[in-house]
Amino acid sequence: MYRICLILILLILTAPTQAGEKRYRVEILVLSHLQHEAIPAEADSLRDFSTALDFLTPEVDESEKEGLENTPFDEAESSSQVPEADEANSADLLQQEELPEQPWADVIPVEQMSNVMSEAWRRLRLSAPFRPEQYLSWEQSANEPFPLLRIHDLKVVLIDDPYADLRKTDVIEDQDDRPEADKTAVFSDRGRLLPGYALDDAISELAVEPELPDPSLFYRLDGTVMLRRTRFLHLDVDLELRQPVFDDPALAPVPIPSLDSESTEPTSPVPSSFLIHTLKQSRQVKSQRMEYFDSPVLGVLAWITPFEREDEIEAIGSPEP
């Protein structure tokens, strides 16, 4: 009888609390070593990290299109500052359509740095041998599935657009100012008509073509991070720092394509190869402790804060006493 009571007590003590779902706030700060003698690897192609969840690609506002038309990619401002509220909201809106398709739909981007990371960023900015490159913060569940997040700057070194020719065709068709009523109806279109379905409505629907996938963008700093929990917490870091190489060094960098021009193809040649510095590590980490991943060129600071969903997080960047 006593043994049964003891087992019941142990089960009660070890059972998860019902106060709220346990979650983590994860903060990642990528830095680079300015004084190094590391020899980069050379590759003809770049790894594509676009399958990871991306909160850092901003949505281009219509009023900003003219200013972006003549801005070269290498002069585009790197997202090296804390994301502003508007940019974070835009990134959140971009992910609303994608999140339901992901198994980790409860991942939430966080807009502001904690006190700990803010101080780390400030010190790196003032230091001579280091430079802060990018910051990313999000909240996730402590349970599977664990999200894979993309972290990158905004300096694009390569655009891969398999649908460039189709986009050019679409632009030409859009310039056709003939009214819809004057366009010829194809006989094969009538085969999809249903009883009681208007011909004009059918033709209008058939004229709406599905949107083409966006071009794949490869950034100067690009990679993924993942926080996962088994028995202990583990952080997986996979980052690359890329430098394009041109056959002719005098070639200008690839300019950003005009967002309302007739062509989305870059006007400069594609790089012949890339020089790449890599940081790829996976190891156990602890919460409320600054974790450091290092390589000859790249480094990562990670700060992880556990909490429960119902809890009000106050002074989240301050370590526990």
pLDDT digit string, tens, across residues 111-166 = 889 999 999 999 999 999 999 999 999 999 999 999 999 999 999 999 988 877 77
- Comparing 69 with 4, the larger pLDDT belongs to 4
Q: Give the pLDDT band (50/70/90) at residue 51.
A: very high
What would the mean pLDDT of 271-277 be, rounded to a whole number? 95
Identify the pLDDT of residue 165: 76
Tell me which of 22-26, 101-105, 183-187, 240-244 is least confident: 183-187
- Comparing 295 with 266, the larger pLDDT belongs to 295
Quote the CA–CA distance of 256 and 264 in Å, as a whole number: 9
Q: What is the mean pLDDT of the chain?
A: 74
**The tokens 């506002």 sit on which residue?**
61
Strongest mean pLDDT among 38-52, 153-167, 169-183: 38-52
Q: Report the length, in residues, of the chain.
A: 321
Quote the CA–CA distance of 192 and 215 in Å, as a whole number: 32
Quote the CA–CA distance of 149 and 51 in Å, as a whole number: 9
Q: Give the pLDDT band (50/70/90) at residue 104.
A: confident
- The model's pTM is 0.67
Tell me which of 100-104, 126-130, 140-144, 296-300 is least confident: 100-104
Statement: residue 170 has pLDDT above 70: no
- Comparing 215 with 256, the larger pLDDT belongs to 215
> Which residue in 84, 83, 81, 91 sits closest to 59, CA to CA?
91
State whether the Cα torsion 153-49-27-287 is positive or negative: negative
DSSP-assigned letter for residue 172: H
Question: What's the burial of 300, exposed, middle or buried (CB within 10 Å: 0-12/13-18/19+)?
Answer: buried
Statement: residue 78 has pLDDT above 90: no
Instruction: State pLDDT tens for residues 185-225.
Output: 444 444 444 555 454 555 555 555 677 888 899 999 999 99
Instruction: State pLDDT tens for residues 79-89.
Output: 444 444 344 44
Statement: residue 174 has pLDDT above 90: no
What would the mean pLDDT of 42-71 be, rounded to a whole number? 72
Identify the pLDDT of residue 125: 95
Identify the pLDDT of residue 63: 47
